[in-house]
Amino acid sequence: MFHVVRYQHLKLTQNIGFSVHLKLIFPRTLAFVQLWKSWLSTLSLVGDQNIVLMGPPGAGKTTVGRIVGHKLGCRVIDVDDDVLETTWNMSVSEKLQDVGSRQFIEEEGKALLKFSASGSVISLSGSNPMHAASMQHVKKNGIVVYLDVPTRDIIDRLELMKVDRIVGQDSGISMRDILQFRKQFYKKWYDIRVLCAGGLTAEVVADKVLDAVKRYQDSESETFISTRHTRSEMCEQKGSVKYFTEAVVEGLASDGGLFVPEKGLPTFTAGEWQRLVEATYIERAQVILERFIHPADIPAFKLGEIVEIAYGENFTCSKIAPLRYLTGNQFLLELFHGPTASFKDLALQLMPHLFAYCVPKRCNYLVLVATSGDTGSAVLDGFSRLSDTDKQRIAVVTFFPEDGVSQIQKSQMIGCQRENGWSVGVKSDFDFCQTAIKKIFTNSDYSGFLTVEYGTALSAANSINWARLLPQVIYHASAYLDLVHQDIITFGSPIDVCIPTGNFGNILAALYAKRMGIPIRKCICASNGNNVLTDFIRTGLYDLRGRRLMQTSSPAIDILKSSNLERHLHLIAGGDGQLVTQLFSELEKQCHFQLQKDLLEKLQQDLVAGWCSEEDCLAAIHSVYSTTGYILDTHTAIAKVVADRLQDRTCPVIISSTAHYSKFAPAILRALRIAEIKQNPLSQLHLLSSYSPLPPVHRGLLKTLKENEKQKHQICAADVNVMMAHIETVIQNKFMKVF
């Protein structure tokens, strides 16, 4: 695997120019990083750079700027007072009245273009960001900090200041509307955001600015380690320490572990979460992702572009992941409004764009995916939406159990094949597919051969990849905020979540949301007959001895080896990579491991678990439809049954609805006792569509099956060597580039 070089920000202080030249020559080795950090720590926070405060009028830029300048002992410049009025010899309000809004922005921009400073705190005017050339000038030697202040606070302040008109506000346009309009300009320019809760003092905001600038400049500290990273490796400063870009590109750590943030998860205060109650899903996504991804890895403006592409037009519901009331204290988090009708779209419309941004341009990449059903079509669709340039160098192969997914899921995967994506059926189960891919990744001879011979590296898009898991945190947090927004609860009130789980990724994302400050009381793990997780959470014994994978009507959770469980055990074990290595070595060699009592108690503080039989699953689908007219898919029905059994009804419970019911038509037809089940997947959907009392089938799913009914796919034996040969053939046919 190629070593990915992430260089430090280009916007460095002039008095550390020597380090810029060094960094353009040498990769980011840990020894160099430590040397550079030691030297940098002797410099002031600002150096010759400016801290540039940006935000709407009334955001408090001037007052906060003075406090920050005082704390740093550096010059403070207010653009309105010290630049514009000095240049014009008149007040800003007089100038605006004299020339009008449009000409004012041009005149303001010209004045700012002639201005230069270093080592200062600069408070921009609210309209500066509307002039592109002047903002580019300011950014050359400044860290732009966006004061993201609640609109209500801004309007209150402007009223106290007796400001009734700002630049760009014409007759008939409200102050709220013009402030909303301005946001599109602010998001183009900031380097880092300071999310301000309502009612914060200027002193508190100033401290948040200083913390944000420190984080921005200290990008070296935001690293990732393997869940199997040992303390001896840490002492020797070697092993699987990576940066975000490297973790995304490599997918799986070289020691077989999974990447996690070395310093833990970011957190939000209650006030910061409350700021997001009124936000859209896209706005929530960007704020949350900014806390996880350092601007040195993906700049804020680029991250915003990626989020808008991912969630802009590809979902059939504008709310992306809407919350629907079901019955009693139960709510459904509908995660099936994406193009392939499952919760995997919430991650896989975003992850391919993160991946494409992170990978080096000099290499081709083949992304390998093991799927129990839904991931396959979602990853193929997601990577097919990359730019033409990216599709030339990034391709995907999905391996799925040939006889272990629903007929509709298989037809959908085959139908989603494109010029950079293929589906391969394996004559085995999902656990074999997942284990085989892990073995391929950790086979350094094979991956090295592909790199040398074909200029192609391997990566992953399963939830073993951090960039695949990360977007799932967003919708769990968003669901809680929606409950608050709908006045069902007040912020701080507890909820439970119930999630159908096989590979532990979806429920792990909910556990992460809890760690970040979302008031989730219990995460309820819902299994089908393959209930190894239920037994483990209840007893601490993970036992595969004598277990055989059952094929059920909920194939996405027909899994016995739960990959993401490793991340959670690493978390509750305090980052003890040696223990995690021992546990999963025992699982690999002896097919079982037992948690110590103290770890089991920690596990059970957050988790409870139950399972559901096939009969009870189908009965739940029938019962819910009979009483509410709503159709649950088979996985959601399992979660509903388990929630009914385990949740105490003292608080709301959000049930993750992970797929559209029409993906599992035979089971739905059987549960509703409608008609004879047809073998042809398209016929099954037509039968569902023809039954008028039912809600409509997912139109994206129907379209895919109609357009690609005759497409073929490859089938291979359950043999790692055969899969490796197939991968090599794909690389030869796709990239045609032999070195």
Q: Do 96 and 65 have their domain in common?
A: yes
Residues 591 and 625 in one domain: yes
Are 501 and 433 contained in the same domain? no
Kindly report the pTM of this predicted structure: 0.90
Least confident of 202-216, 330-344, 488-502, 693-707: 693-707
The verdict on residue 288 lying in a domain is no
DSSP collapsed to 3 states, 49-106: CEEEEECCCCCCHHHHHHHHHHHHCCEEEEHHHHHHHHHHCCCHHHHHHHHCHHHHHH
Q: Are residues 168 and 206 in the same domain?
A: yes
- Asked if residue 251 lies in contact with residue 459, where contact means CB atoms within 8 angstroms, the answer is yes
Q: Mean pLDDT over residues 268-289, rounded?
A: 97
Distance set, CA 664 to CA 234, 559, 635, 668 (Å): 48, 18, 10, 6
pLDDT of 305 strictly over 70: yes
Helix (H, G, I), strand (E, B) or coil at 737: coil
Locate tokens 């040397």: which residue?
35
Question: Of 218, 234, 258, which closes a domain?
Answer: 218
Beta-carbon count within 10 A of 363 CB: 17
Residue 178 falls inside a structural domain: yes
Say if residue 448 is in the same domain as residue 578: no
Q: pLDDT over 70 for what percent of the chain?
A: 90
Same domain flag for 418 and 559 = no
- Taken in order 474, 478, 479, 481, is the CA torsion positive or negative? positive
Contact 261, 242 (CB under 8 A): no
Alpha-carbon 170 to chain mean position:
39
Final residue in a domain of this structure, among 218, 250, 284:
218
Cα separation, 246 vs 98, in Å, equals: 54
Q: For 644-684, how does the pLDDT look when each residue is reduced to its tens digit (9 = 90+)?
A: 999 999 999 999 999 999 899 889 989 998 866 666 787 88
CA-based radius of gyration for the chain? 27
Confidence of residue 538 (pLDDT cuts 50, 70, 90): very high
Number of CB atoms found within 10 A of residue 234's CB: 15
Distance CA 199, CA 560 (A): 50
Same domain, 461 and 493: no
| Residues 687 and 562 grouped into a single domain | yes
688 part of a folded domain: yes
In three-state form (DSSP H/G/I as H, E/B as E, the rest C), the secondary structure along 220-244 is HHCEEEECCCCHHHHHCCCCCCEEH
- The range of the structural domain enclosing residue 424 comes to 344-466+722-736
CB neighbour class for 548 (10 Å; exposed up to 12, middle 13-18, buried from 19): exposed
Q: Tell me, what CATH number does 357's domain have?
A: 3.40.50.1100
pLDDT of residue 732: 93
Residue 173 located in a structural domain: yes
| Same domain, residue pair 66 and 195 | yes
Q: Give the domain-ending residue among 174, 201, 218.
A: 218
What gap in Å lies between CA 255 and CA 442, rounded to an integer?
A: 7
Which parts of 538-672 are beta strand (E)?
541-543, 592-594, 607-611, 653-657
Closest by Cα among 688, 695, 689 to 667: 688
Residue 268 lies in a domain: no
Tell me if 18 is assigned to some domain. Answer: no
CATH for 143: 3.40.50.300
Quickly list DSSP for 600-638: HHHHHHHEEEEE--HHHHHHHHHHHHHHHS----HHHHH
Q: Are 285 and 293 in contact (CB under 8 A)?
A: no
d(CA 133, CA 109): 7
Count of domains forming the chain:
3
The least confident of 69-83, 158-172, 470-484, 666-680 is: 158-172
Q: Can you give the pLDDT at residue 692?
A: 61
Q: Is there a single domain that holds both residue 498 and residue 635?
A: yes
- Whether residues 536 and 610 fall in one domain: yes
- Domain for residue 348, yes or no? yes
CA 469, CA 478: separation in Å to the nearest integer?
15
Arithmetic mean of pLDDT, 350-358: 97
Same structural domain for residues 726 and 641? no
Q: Is 9 part of a structural domain of the chain?
A: no
Q: Mean pLDDT over residues 473-500, rounded? A: 98
Handedness of CA 353, 357, 363, 367 (dihedral sign): negative
